[in-house]
Structure formats: structure tokens, C-alpha cells
Structure 1
Amino acid sequence: MKNNWFNKTTKETLQALNSSNEGLLHEEVAQRQQQYGKNELQENQGKTPLELFLHQFKNPLILILAIGALVSFATGHLIDAIAISAIILINAGIAFWQELKAQKSMQALKDMAAPMSLVIRNGEVIDVPASELVPGDMLKIQTGDILAADVRILEAHNLNIDEAALTGESEPVEKHAEALQEKEIPLGDQNNMGFMTTIVTSGHGLGVVTGTGMQTEVGHIADLMSSTEEVKTPMQVRMDTIAKSLMFVALGVVAVVAGIGLFYGMAWLEVINTSISLSVAAIPEGLPTIVSIVLTMGSVKMAKSNALARQLSAIETLGSTTVICSDKTGTLTQNQMQVMKSYDGAGRYWNVSGEGFDLKGEFQPAGHQVPANESLEMMMGLTVASLCNDAEHKVTNGESQVRGNPTEGALLVAAAKVELDLETLTQKGYQVIKKFPFDSARKMASVIVKDGEGNHFLAAKGAPDVMLNHASGFMADGKVLSLSPQVQGSQALATSPADECVAGYHQAIDQFANDALRTLAVGFRELDESQLDKKYEELEKDLTLLGLFGIMDPPRPEVRQAIEDCFSAGIRTVMITGDHALTAAAIARDIGIIRSDDDKVVTGAELDQMDDDELYAICPNVAVFARVTPEHKLRIVKAQQHNNEVASMTGDGVNDAPALRRADIGVAMGITGTSVAKDSSDLILLDDNFSTIVKAVRQGRQIFDNLCKFIRQALTANVGEVSVILFAFLLMGPEMVLPLTPLMILWINLVSDGLPALALGVEPEEQDLMERQPRKRNASFFGNHLGSRIVCRGLALGGASYLAFSWSLGAGHSEMYAQTVAFAMLIFAQLWHLFDSRTFTTLFRKNPFTNKYLLGAVALSAGLSLGVIYTSMGQAVFMTEALQLTHLLGIALAAALPTFLLSGVKEVTKIKWL
């Protein structure tokens, strides 16, 4: 049923749908329900819990460990097999639980739909479930309704619909029934259409259903969401790269060792035992778990700063963000209309301070010293604006709220800032006795008012050009200036004071337009009792203009600094909005998104004329994308990602959901955001504050730093474990004895290494954290020489451990005693190495006492490891022997040498790869 219904007249629409004002017959409804199905959104079937759980075993690390566990069972190493299996289940279980919390975007879309609808069928008005609507149904539209389908408006009586969640339009849209002539019209400008899930804020009307279910605009968004591929975050890509690299390293090392072993003539069982040890040593079993824990700790810290992470992997992505694609309405702006400027007939301007509907604020004279409450025409203008007004303002639990049209609410709030409100006016005897509501044809509204002295006047407000055409005079400095020529002596003045007023008004209108302010003019006309029953056509003329009000949805006060902080951190902010280009560009300049003439503003219509290559080329220079659709937003995010940007998308509406889902990190507003936006996002701003993103970026960068430190520590330990076995294999020949058992290696990876490494997750941030350029999407964990440092330090740790093992055997100690020596040496070497891992420079430049958690973790790890060596249970399980105290002391001191020597060389020579 897709059609340009907005181009058709009401008659043509009814003919095309084979409907009438009497509605459909019940037989026709039944036939159409079979043809079009229920008026519901459809969703794709996701994976079952069992499928999700089995999916976790596709991880290369898990597969290698699983093979190791099976071989351990087969060769009788029962304890090793059980320990490895437990690690596998823990890692798979954590990943499974994260994925089980699946997206519920489609359900949120369904929940937004109206449960019941008022329709005309067989000429009767009846209530039916919204799911039973069909194309051609006649829908009665009333204030407060949630539209249950897409409709072509047939009748509109002061009908206004809030479409902000769907189109990004910051104000309710006035609807009419006239056909539109343009063939391609953005959704936000289709003023004769109503859309599923939008809310009727005022008026009533009649509409014919043109689309149901997936054939609606919301259905189209639902289809985009279900077909939009969720790209892996940079964090997930990097972890996959590490997993694959470790898999190939492990298989390569095992293959080499097996080949050498067979060459030496070693028994298959010995080769298998060695291979199990090597595979366990090459893989940091605790890596997925520790990473999840570090990210969880980061998410807790971020939540305290009002940023709630829905996906743990997205936390680190924040630190990688290179471009923030931000929605305007409700994200950069307050989503509350506010009078920003005012003007009176005497040529005076005032800037109006405040935040949205909050009553705090004042009229600040601009270029003069006259307070607003001393301007008779300004006070009369605010009186007129308050009386000719259908909105309601109230304060509930300290929160200032507006019911009704937000623009009219903004006028009430502005009047309250000079202590003028409806209650005060009522006490003074003002009484509205007749209303002429606003309509789009005449572009104004008016009311007949009776004042406290029994006099009557018409209070009017409307579009400035219309009000000027209906004006016969202007109030300036308390006097009414007529448009008729002023005569002085026998010669008419070439320019009268009234003409100067007209010129001043036009100048003010232009200035407000340049500032992207919606401008309303106010005026009045004195009436006598004989005129009270006349129609508005006769009354709305010969007005005396009082002033102008410039209104907009203002930027959030903290946004300017947040965008500046992003700029300093090398992060571009791009506004993507469904609002008009002029409004968006003005706000973008005001808050610092547009910083030069080179920053472009591109509209959705212009986007439609571009192919993908053209979009890729201009993306780096575009600061604002205006009047865009959900498809445009999705396309823009994809273009940013194609340019190797790590794209964050912020939004609060249904129209933002597909792009939120596609972005590397989707950020939804927690207060004003729809459920659909929240469920499509990775991060929710609990305070709807754009500056919270900057705090989250800082924490994301710190988390990435700490993950790099942790991975350095963990993989250095693994290189040490592999190398000590390789050294033994290569240097001892066929008589090789394993320096470490698989269970010892598991202990090192999970307890003596994993536990202290957790403390690196709370390491204080580096000083240059927010001065660095953001990492690109393809940046590796092993960048900045991290890989070479891991290999270099790991070989040093493994070499030291092998030397201690070889010394012990040479001194005549038992094989078990020598393994215990190697075990203790590697543990203490790793603990010393922790202090070097916590910095990107050297341990000599970092105060060892600034992370108290690390000190505690090192002490706890050392204590637990000593328990493995000196307790009977530890000796029975891990096959260790109690070390002589002199040997233990020597090991603890000798274990520090690799770290201190290499750090010292690096400090002196400045060699980056050490």
C-alpha cells in the first residue's frame, strides 16, 4: 500500500482505498484482514538459549582448551581435565549470560502502539483493537490519541500531532486535509498525514488508514532495525584478533615441539603431555573472564557518572570514538521551547535567560537600560500572549511542566519571569469570553477579553508578516502610532514614526530568523459591545502591534563545553537531525559544531542525490545533516564507518533506532528517550546530558589503557610459561623434564597472575589521557610496541624460571622440587613485572603506592601461592614440595632482576620496544 498519499486529494484517497466517510463494511474488513494481516509489527526469530550457549564454543581459545581437556581425560590427567573444563564453562557461561540479554527493540515498538482505536464501520462509530485495523478504515482522531496506523487526514480541526520521536521535529505539527503538490516531501513536512505511534496533542479530526503493520512508517523503521547488521565493536574485533593469534601460536608451538619430540624418539604419551602443557601455557584462560570483570568495574564507575552501559564491550569503544553523530532535539537541545529574545515597538531588544520551561531566568536588556517590566508595550504583549493561550503551566514536585502546545507554554513561562501569570491576571479581573483558535489558513489566533473595568479588547498573536498586514498602528513608549501619514504644517512627512516602527519590526524579524528563532507577533484591538458577536474575519484587523517574541528549543547549557572538550580530544561532533537546515545550522554554530566556513550543512534531499562514494568523500567535512530520514541516518553512520571512523550515534526517538543499532556505540537518552531507542543502544545517559558522553569517553579511554596493561601482564606471563617449557625441550633434549605441570600453569594464569591483574583495572588514568588523538578502528592492542615488550619481557621471565629449574636439578634436588622452584620463580617474576605493566613508560616513573588495590592483590596472590607450596592440600593437588626458606628468599629477589634490568635499560636508552 506504499503510495504518495500526501499528493492525493481526499476524494482520490478514498477512491484509491475503496472507502467512504461511512467506513468499511464488516465483510470488507474481514477480507482486508486476510489480505494485509494484523496491524502488528513483525520480528525475526532470534537464537534459542541453547543455540546461544553452543555459540560460545566457537571461540578459538575455548576450542583449544576443550581439546586439551579431552586429551587430559584420555591420558588419565583427571585433575587437569576437570580444572580446564571448569575454566571453559565459566568463560562460556559469562559470554552466554551477556548475549542472553537480547535486544528488545521490536517489543518496545509494539508497546508504543495504541491498544484500541475509534473507527467508523457500517456508518457506526465503534471501538476496535488497534491490531484489527485495515487500510481503508475511517479513524476518528481526538486529543490524547496515539495513532494506531498511518492515516491520510480527511478533516482537521486545530489538529496538532507530536511527531518528535518519529521525525525529530521539536514542535507538534499542525495538520490539514489539503493535497500537497511536491512529489518528494520529507516525512516531517507531510502535514496532511498522520503516522503510527505519534501523539495527538490538540484538536480533532478524521483520517483514513493508508498503511498498517509493517507497511507503516514505523513498520519501515522496524524492518530497518531487523535487517540492520550489528557491527562488532572495536573491542570485540581486537579480542577476536588476539584469540586467533593465540590459537595459531599455540598450534604452531605444539607442532614444533611435537616434531622435535618425535625426532628425539620420545614416546607419544610424553609428547602429548608436553603439548597439553604448552597449549595451556599459550592461552590466558582467565582472559575473557578478567576482561569482563574489568569492563564491569568500568560500567559501575560510569553508572555513577550517569552513563549506563547495556553492552560491556561498548565501554571500551567509547575511548576509541572518533566521531559522535548526535541527534539535535532532546540531545543537544532541551526539547523544551523557550522565549530567547523579545522586541517592542520602541525598538528595544531583550535577551531572555533560563532553561526551557524552568521559571528561573530574566529579561536582560540588550543595548539599553530599560527593564522589561518598565516597557508598557512589552508587559501588554506578555499579557496578550498569556490570555491568547491554550497551554497550561504548573510546577509539580519542584519541576516546571507545560501541558499543551510547547510554544504557547514558552510564552507563559516568559510572562512568569516578569511575575505575570494567568492567576494574577484573573485576580485583576481579566476574563476570556470568546476564542478564535489558530489555524494554518490565517496563521493567527485571537480571543475576546473582558478586563477588570468591564472594557473589551481582542488579544491576538500570530505570524509576524500576517500581523503586520492586519496592523493599523503600533505602541511605542506607551503611545499608539498610526500608519496614516503625520502632517506637520502643510507638508506630510516623508517618513512617519509609524513607518519607522514597520522598518524596525522587519529588521527584528530578519534578525530573529537569522538566529533560527520561531517568531510570533502580539497585538490588540479595543472593542465595544456591538462588536462582540462579530466573526474573526471582521475583528482581526486594525490591530495595534505590541512586540515580537523569538522562540526556539535552546541548546543544553553544558553542551558547548562538552563539544569543545570533544574537539580537544580529537573527536568530531556531527549533528544529524530531522529538523530544518536553518534551525539546525544556527544551533550548530552557537554550540561549536560548525567552527568554520568549511563545515558543510547537507540536507536529506541533497543526500538522495548522492551515491555512496560521494557521501564517503564529503563526510569528513559535514558538520550538520538536516531534514534526514531514518534511512539517511543509517546511511550516514555506515559512511563514517567506511571511512574507518569509530562512530557513536546519540538519539532519543524511534527514528534514531536503526542508526543506534548500527553504530559502533549507540547512546540513548534515559529520560526523554523512547523505549525503542534505549533497547537499540549500547549506552544510556541517565541524565540526558550530552556532557556525560565526554565523561564516558574519558572513562572508556582509561579502561582501554588498563586493558592494555592487563593484556600486557597476562600475555607476558603466557610467553614466560611457554618459553620455560620450550627452553627445557630445546636444551635438555630427549631427557627433558617438564618445568611446569598443566595445573601449575592454570594456577599462575588464574590466581597468581589473574588476581593482581584485576587491580590494573582500577589503575589511575595517565596524565595525557584526553590529549591524545583517538584510536582508529583498526588500531591493535599490540600497537605502540606493546607486542615487542610482551615477547621481550616474557622471554626474560621464562629464561629466569628455566635457569632456576636447571640449577635445582643440577644441585641434586628431586624433579618435583625443581618444578616447585620454577613455579615459584615464575610467580614472583610476574608479581614484580606487575609494577612495570601499570605504566606505558617504566616503573621508575610511577609511584608504586598510588594503587593500593594492586599492593593488596600482590600480597594476596603471593600468600595464596605460598599456600600451594607449603600446605599439605596444595602439595597433594599441585604436586609441589616445600622450599627451603633460603631458596625461597633467593627466588623472590632473583625474580625481580628481569624487570628491573630491562626497565633500567629502557629508562637509560629510551628504547621503545623494551
Structure 2
Amino acid sequence: MWKNITRQLFAQLSRRLPRRLVQRDPMPEGKAFASGPVPDSLARHCLNVAAMDEHEIWRAFNSHPEGLNAMEVEDQREQYGTNTLPAQKPLPWWVHLWLCYRNPFNLLLTALGIISYSSEDLFAAGVIALMVGISTLLNFIQEARSTRAADALKAMVSNTATVLRVVNDRGESRWCEIPLDQLVPGDVVKLSAGDMIPADLRVFQARDLFVAQASLTGESLPVEKVVRSREPQQSNPLECDTLCFMGTNVVSGTAQAVVFATGEKTWFGQLAGRVSEQVSEPNAFQKGISRVSMLLIRFMLVMTPVVLLINGYTKGDWWEAALFALSVAVGLTPEMLPMIVTSTLARGAVKLSKQKVIVKHLDAIQNFGAMDILCTDKTGTLTQDKIVLENHTDVSGKPSERVLHCAWLNSHYQTGLKNLLDTAVLEGVGQDAARSLAERWQKVDEIPFDFERRRMSVVVAEQEHIHRLICKGALQEILRVSTQVRYNDDIVPLDDTMLRRITRVTDTLNRQGLRVVAVASKTLPAREGDYQRIDESDLILEGYIAFLDPPKESTAPALNALKASGITVKILTGDSELVAAKVCHDVGLDPGEVVIGSDIERLGDDELAQLARHTTLFARLTPLHKERIVTLLKREGHVVGFMGDGINDAPALRAADIGISVEGAVDIAREAADIILLEKSLMVLEAGVIEGRRTFANMLKYIKMTASSNFGNVFSVLVASAFLPFLPMLPLHLLIQNLLYDVSQVAIPFDNVDDEQIQKPQRWNPRDLGRFMLFFGPISSIFDILTFCLMWFVFHATTPEHQTLFQSGWFVVGLLSQTLIVHMIRTRRIPFIQSRAAWPLLAMTLVVMVAGIALPFSPLAGYLQLQALPLSYFPWLVAILAGYMTLTQLVKGFYSRRYGWQ
């Protein structure tokens, strides 16, 4: 948890590599490639592969155009290993054990134990060793369990690759979906928009393939990949236009490619090996834990010398004072914090999985609970994600079979990322009509969809000498490349009058909640060669197809639940503002004044940040618009979640504090996300948020208890040390007390949480922790001082000869008050009456309290330098504890009214 950077590397590497290792300026022409963090041999290998033709590729990797068979796959895997990064390989148990031991608190306790051993205080050294051992082993066990749980959960949503494999002895091949780690060199891979590049690939078939390489090169724009290099004398492998590298993703187009490197032999794998050796940049959760830890350590480092000086000066025995100060330092060290954090997060992840929420990174749970703004798309979140083709009309709004057939040909023959609109179109044509269309029209070529053009085209032919280009896409984008309109079977110019008529018809459809897609065509003479985007010009607008995606019944209740939980929902969609506004009204979400993408482009960051603060609905957005809005909301101090499932959502998913995707999302969206929902529903999301807050609340309990208890104990020790002629408690007693207290905390991750503690977003706030210490720490000191007075004036333990009675009395009060503070701090309500802890915490509390009372009466009492307390002591004990709980409850009421109770 504290240093285990490797577990998070694979998901976060693509975010960090551009900034830390490989971002560089464009290379001056003619300058030789410098491999930087990867070996020169790898660079030369990549350049050699880029220069190969298709036949050389098959020979080099013992592969074939029909794919590998099972025996060849096994041979390749035996030679090259699995397709896993160095950072993904499990750590040996001894390395994991060392990482669990190596946290600041254990290192500090070890130093204190060595000092105790050097001073021949063997019992103290043994107790410290026991405390370190318990902390380390519990942390090790919990981390191992959480790792297994996280791996099992991630396996449920793992990405796959589409691979051509020989499936039988007859040599028949079939495209198969296999886990990424099963890829081997020589595999033939199919790529389409939204796919992650699963290994290092050499392209041998491509249609308008554009790949986003920002994770490796820092380039903001996608680059095109081709079969034959347009610049064969490349010196930089990352600029080779025939190679695709692991860790990048397909933006648009289709391709087939051969795997030439897997796992740690890939470019990405070599970089991962370097990064795994470095300390990663901590996230917000880790920074919060670190700040709290250092606050407690600084407090201990300041107070321990003060205790030493006061006791040494007043008692005159500096050696005894040193041992006592050493024990105080041990008591002030929150060595169970790593275990509490790990076990709480692991338990939270398992419970979230039962809510259909898969946590890819345990640290994301805290951000989940802290989220106060959720940005989400409309389709599938507010709506049912079951799109139905509602009508198909010409430009005047009359039903048109011609438009439907054009749309069917476009959806049927495109090979890119088929979406729900394509499925609805294909289902909207009868089987007989579909069979007839497929027989009459043969595919010639296609121009794949991308989010810049927001349209895609296929080229088909009915006759040998004539080709027909059919384009389908967003209305505004189709109008941009159209010059004519088919109106009443005539071809007329697209003038202002016709444009106004088109706007009236489509706006009417949009206001009904229908999503409008335009269809256009163009007849061309037959030709050889590929068709390009430039061919999408001078089109004839045929008409529209309109789709209905009705709102979910669960959306309105889910939005109300999120609002009640303090989460503001903002809709970021690429759809029409009229359609989005209609859906928002249907689910009870007031869209207010809608902001569209063209408005955003005219605004500066400060203006857009102010606008985003109050705007609910953003429409007609590009992927970069979404990312910019999320980034600016974060800059304003919000914890922002983004929920998306498409390739256009990947930038915003990475930019958000917590990226949320769904099981059926495209590869790049799932990889960029921190949380995966097994059901695309805001109701599932809301349940997950509540569980995230419950997990965080349990972690906060331990931190609050430790901080306030430590502060109070030190204050009591300082007062007693200044006025008593003997030590208020022996070093041995402090160590035993701390050990028993630690045992009582083990059950905190299993505790219940009050409903009001999970109603609002929760964040780390070290300033609140300091204030909490000042309010609640002195309360225990008040009753410690009353205990001192009790033992001094009532039981007359006033001399060194009677110090054992004094120390036994404070030992019991100190241990019981420290244990009860768990129940006082865990809730703002009245403990045991209005709010009851979970049974494991109650049981541990009872066991420790019984042990604390029994020790002075046990056979061990003499060895521990304790003595049996008189029966008259126990009514006073009950009174002191009752007074302590009453005063704490009163201060809780005042504190929560003034500062709130997180």
C-alpha cells in the first residue's frame, strides 16, 4: 500500500510516461534516433521489422496469413513467455513481506527496539518486536488477500484481442477473442476503432488506420499507420508508420497486423521496467495518508524529548527517564495504520464487487467517496441504451425506403466500430429486403468513422463501371460536405431556403427526443485505388434516419439519490442539444441553459470554468471539449468523476479524479477507468459511492482515535512527570497498554457506519485532524489527572514505595479509556444506544477491557510490576469512565454543530 507502485503501474503508466520519460520535441531532420530509456538493440529491431515486406514478416516470426495453430502458439510462448509487463508479474512473497515491513512506523519502532535491546531492556525490545511483527504480518496477509481479490475482480473485466488462429487439423482458421496475455509473436491481430494495441505490431493490411500515440510520444494528434512506409529511411521507431506499439490505441479505421514483440520485449514493456524501478508520483489518497502519517511522526519526535527532559530533571534518574521517553515514543507510533488502511480498502473493494462495481485500483475507493461532481454521457446512462429505428424520411419528413436502404448498405458493409445505431438500422430492414440489397450491391471500399469528421462512408457498386459512395453521420457534418438535396425525387441545390426547411424538420424530430442521423450519397465513375476523406464532398443529402432511446425508469430515482448524497450531475454529450434537453426533462433533470461545443471553443479557461460551475448540460462536444471541462472543474477544487464507455470518452476518463466505465466499453475506455460498473446504471453507481464513503469513514475513525488519544496521553504524561516523585507508569506498562490497544483496533475495518456519515462527499483534511486533536485529546487528560488525584489522595499512593499501586490504577484507567474512545469517536450519536458498533469491534473491545482489568490480579502481575487493586477502586473507575464518556459526548455535540462531523 505504501510503496507497492507496481500494482498500479499498468493502468497508470500511459498517464505518466509522457510526462516523465519519453516526451520529447520533434526530432530535427537527419538527426539519429536516441533510444533514451530503451536499449539501442530494441530500436534497431523495430526499424528492421518496419522495413520488412509481408513475406519477410511471415518468415521472421514463423507465422502464416491464416494464423498460428495450437502447437505453434505453445512453441512461441515457451520461447518468448506470456504477454505481460514486468510490473504485472507477482512479487515473490519475501519481497512483498519486506515492502509490508518497510513503512515509516515499523522502521521507527525497529530503531526504538534496537535502542531497548542495546540498553538490555529485553522485555521492552521483545514487546516492540511483537508489535512490529503483528503489524507486518497483518499487513502482509491483508495485502495478499486484497491482491488476490483485486486480480479476481480485474479478471472479470479484462481486455481481449481479436486474433486469427487455426482451430482444427484441417487448417481452418477463425477469429477468436483471447486475453491479452495469451498473445505470442507471429499472431495475426485484427484492429478497429476503440481497440488498445495489445503488443508491438507490424501492419500488413490497413484502411484509414489512425492511432493515438500520446502515451509514448506526447503527440496530441493521432498518426496514420499504413502497410508500406511512406518514409522508408526512418531513424526513430516511434515515427515508423508501419508499426503500432503496445499501450497506444486505435482512434479510427481498421487493420490487420502481425505481433512482433510481446510483454517485456515491447517498447512499452522496456519503459515499464524502468518506471517500476522508480518511485511513482503519489496520488491524492497516498498524499493524504502521507500527510497524516508525518503529522503523527512529527508530534512524536517533538514530544518525546520533552518527556525525557522533564522526567530526567524532576526525578534525577536520566536512564530511567530515557527508557520511559522511549516507551512514550512507541506508544505514540500508529503502527497499525498501514494494516487498517489496507484491510479497509480490501474489504471495501470486495463489498463494492457485490454491488456490481469492480475496483481496478484500491486507492480509487477514497476518490469514489469524495466525488462531488459526476460528469456523464446521456446514452445508456440516462437512457435505456436500447436504440430503436423510429423512422426514415426524406428531407421534407416523408417516409422514404430509399433512405433506409442507403443507411442499411452503409451499416452492413462498414467494418469499423459498429454501434447501437448500426444495429438498429440492420434490424430495421426485413430479411428479404436485406438479402436482396446484399446481392445487388457489392462493397468496393470504405472510409471509416472518426470523431473529428463524425461520419463514415462506404463505397458500393451495382454495375462494374459505376461506384456509389454512401455517407452517414451527424447532420451538421453531412451538411458541411453536401451541395445538393434529393427533394421530391429531384436533385436541387442546398440553398438557404432548403437549409431552413431541413432545420425545421430535424428540430421537430429532436424535440420529440429522436436522435437524427443524416444520409447522403454520391455517384462516381469506377476507379482503382483507395477512397479517401477528400472524396466525401459534393454529396447529395438523401434524408434522415431517426432513433429513439427512451429514458430508463431507474434514472429519475438515481438522480434524486445522487443529489441527496451531495453529488452534482452534469451531462456531457456529443448529441444534439434538443435531444439531450428532452431526455433531461423526461428524467427530472433541469438542463437550464445549454452550452454547445462551438461556444466552448470561443471561451478562455477562466470563463469556461465559471460557466461549467453552473451549467448542467453540455451538447455537441468533441472528446477534447469533455476533457477540458473535467480538467477545469478539478481546478476549481471539485473531486470529479467521469462516466463513459466510448473511445471519445478516454481523454476525459484519464483527466478525471475517478474514471468510471462499464463492462461493455471499448478497450481504451476500460483501460483508462479506475472503476468498472458491471451494469451501466446510475443506481449502481450511487450504491458504489456510498460504499466508498463507508470505507473512508472507517479509515478516518482509526486516524482520529490515534491522533486524539496520543495527544491526550502525552499531555497527561507531562503533567504527571512534572509533579510526581516517581514515574506515572513504567515503560513496561506503556508497551503492554499499547500492544493491547493495537489488538482492539484490528476489527475497525468491519465496523458499521452511521447513515449521516455517508450522506456527503468526504475528503482528507489534515487541518481538521489537528483541530480534532486539540478538542478531544485534553478530555482524556482531564480524567487522567482525576485518576492521579484519586490514587494520590484517596488511595494514598504518594511515595516511591507505593508507586506500583498508583501505576496499576492509571494502567487500567488509561487502557479502558483508550479502548472506549473507539466507540466514542466512531459516531456523533450516543454510543451503544443510538449507534452500536459491529460485533467484531464490540468483541475485541470486551476482550481487551477484560484483559486490562485482569492483569493486575493475574499471576503475571508481579512480573509486570502491577498489583491487585482494592475493590473500592472499581466504583471510582466506573465513575471516571462514565464522566469521561459524558464529557466526550457533550464536546462531540458542540464540535459537530460548529465544524461538522466527517
Calculate the TM-score normalised by the size of structure 2: 0.63
* CA 735–204 in structure 1, closer or farther in 2 if over 3 Å, else same: closer
Structure-1 residue corresponding to 2:110: 66
Structure-2 residue corresponding to 1:410: 424
Whether the 8 Å CA contact 1:52–1:96 is kept in 2: the answer is yes
Q: Tell me, yes or no, if structure 1 residue 85 matches structure 2 residue 129.
A: yes
Give, in whole Å, the separation in 1 of the partners of 2:880 and 2:660.
50
Give, in whole Å, the separation in 1 of the partners of 2:370 and 2:711.
28
Matches within 5 A, 1:355-754: 390=412, 406-413=420-427, 415=428, 421-422=430-431, 433-437=439-443, 507-509=504-506, 511=508, 517-519=515-517, 548-551=544-547, 562=558, 565-566=561-562, 569-572=565-568, 581=574, 587=580, 590-591=583-584, 595-597=591-593, 599=595, 601=597, 626-628=621-623, 641-650=634-643, 664-672=657-665, 674=667, 681-733=673-725, 738=730, 741-751=733-743, 753-754=744-745
Q: Tell me, yes or no, if structure 1 residue 293 matches structure 2 residue 339.
A: no
Give, in whole Å, the separation in 2 of the partners of 1:782 and 1:382.
64
Offset, 1:387: 9.0
Give, in whole Å, the separation in 1 of the partners of 2:639 and 2:659.
11
Whether the 8 Å CA contact 2:327–2:731 is kept in 1: the answer is no
Matches within 5 A, 1:755-834: 757=748, 761-766=751-756, 769-770=758-759, 772=760, 775=763, 780-782=767-769, 785-806=771-792, 810=796, 814-834=802-822
Structure-2 residue corresponding to 1:534: none
* CA 598–694 in structure 1, closer or farther in 2 if over 3 Å, else same: same
Offset, 1:270: 0.2
* CA 279–887 in structure 1, closer or farther in 2 if over 3 Å, else same: same
Deviations 1:144-196 (A, max 9, x none): 9989778899x98xx697989999xxxxx99999999xxxxxxxxxxx99966
Give, in whole Å, the separation in 1 of the partners of 2:811 and 2:662.
51
Give, in whole Å, the separation in 2 of the partners of 1:506 and 1:176.
39
Equivalent residue letter for 1:728: A
Structure-1 residue corresponding to 2:852: 865
Instruction: Using the TM superposition, name which of 557-566 and 687-696 deviates more.
Output: 557-566
Deviations 1:225-274 (A, max 9, x none): 99999653444333322222222222222211222233236333201221
Offset, 1:807: 5.1
* CA 658–95 in structure 1, closer or farther in 2 if over 3 Å, else same: farther
Whether the 8 Å CA contact 1:670–1:678 is kept in 2: the answer is yes
* CA 584–879 in structure 1, closer or farther in 2 if over 3 Å, else same: farther
Structure ID, larger Rg:
1
Whether the 8 Å CA contact 1:724–1:798 is kept in 2: the answer is yes
Offset, 1:838: 3.2
Structure-1 residue corresponding to 2:290: 240
* Secondary structure in structure 1 of the residue aligned to 2:737: helix
Give, in whole Å, the separation in 2 of the partners of 1:130 and 1:85.
48
Offset, 1:61: 2.7
Offset, 1:736: 5.9
Structure-1 residue corresponding to 2:324: 274
* Secondary structure in structure 1 of the residue aligned to 2:679: coil
Offset, 1:837: 1.9
Gaps of 5+ in 2: 1-21, 27-46, 62-79, 167-182, 216-222, 231-240, 448-455, 463-467, 522-539
* Secondary structure in structure 2 of the residue aligned to 1:519: strand
Give, in whole Å, the separation in 2 of the partners of 1:639 and 1:716.
37
Gaps of 5+ in 1: 5-15, 31-37, 119-128, 134-138, 168-172, 181-191, 350-376, 393-401, 449-458, 475-481, 486-499, 524-543
Give, in whole Å, the separation in 1 of the partners of 2:676 and 2:119.
51
Deviations 1:398-449 (A, max 9, x none): xxxx996754421244x3xxxx852x879xx97964224485699678899x
* CA 26–143 in structure 1, closer or farther in 2 if over 3 Å, else same: closer
* Secondary structure in structure 1 of the residue aligned to 2:754: coil
Give, in whole Å, the separation in 2 of the partners of 1:255 and 1:747.
22
Q: Tell me, yes or no, if structure 1 residue 342 matches structure 2 residue 397.
A: no
Offset, 1:658: 8.2
* CA 723–41 in structure 1, closer or farther in 2 if over 3 Å, else same: closer
Whether the 8 Å CA contact 2:199–2:266 is kept in 1: the answer is no
* CA 240–297 in structure 1, closer or farther in 2 if over 3 Å, else same: same
* CA 844–624 in structure 1, closer or farther in 2 if over 3 Å, else same: same
Deviations 1:205-242 (A, max 9, x none): 89999999999999999999999996534443333222
Computed over aligned residues only, the root mean square deviation of the Cα atoms, in angstroms, reads 6.7
* CA 739–843 in structure 1, closer or farther in 2 if over 3 Å, else same: farther
Deviations 1:3-41 (A, max 9, x none): 99xxxxxxxxxxx999999768789999xxxxxxx9x99
Structure-2 residue corresponding to 1:888: 874
Offset, 1:896: 1.2
Give, in whole Å, the separation in 2 of the partners of 1:617 and 1:293.
40
Offset, 1:876: 6.7
Calculate the TM-score normalised by the size of structure 1: 0.62
Equivalent residue letter for 1:80: A
Whether the 8 Å CA contact 1:238–1:780 is kept in 2: the answer is no
Offset, 1:732: 0.6
Equivalent residue letter for 2:813: M
Offset, 1:686: 2.8
Equivalent residue letter for 1:411: V
* CA 321–811 in structure 1, closer or farther in 2 if over 3 Å, else same: same
Give, in whole Å, the separation in 1 of the partners of 2:143 and 2:381.
31
Give, in whole Å, the separation in 2 of the partners of 1:223 and 1:735.
55
Offset, 1:69: 1.5
* Secondary structure in structure 2 of the residue aligned to 1:762: coil
Give, in whole Å, the separation in 1 of the partners of 2:662 and 2:897.
46
Give, in whole Å, the separation in 2 of the partners of 1:501 and 1:654.
35
Give, in whole Å, the separation in 2 of the partners of 1:656 and 1:749.
48
Equivalent residue letter for 1:865: G
Offset, 1:847: 1.3
Whether the 8 Å CA contact 1:660–1:681 is kept in 2: the answer is yes
Offset, 1:56: 5.5
Structure-2 residue corresponding to 1:352: none
Whether the 8 Å CA contact 2:627–2:651 is kept in 1: the answer is yes
* CA 175–673 in structure 1, closer or farther in 2 if over 3 Å, else same: closer
Matches within 5 A, 1:27-176: 59-92=103-136
* Secondary structure in structure 2 of the residue aligned to 1:766: helix
Deviations 1:351-384 (A, max 9, x none): xxxxxxxxxxxxxxxxxxxxxxxxxx58998799
Equivalent residue letter for 1:754: Q
Give, in whole Å, the separation in 2 of the partners of 1:569 and 1:263.
55
* CA 484–152 in structure 1, closer or farther in 2 if over 3 Å, else same: closer
* CA 890–434 in structure 1, closer or farther in 2 if over 3 Å, else same: same
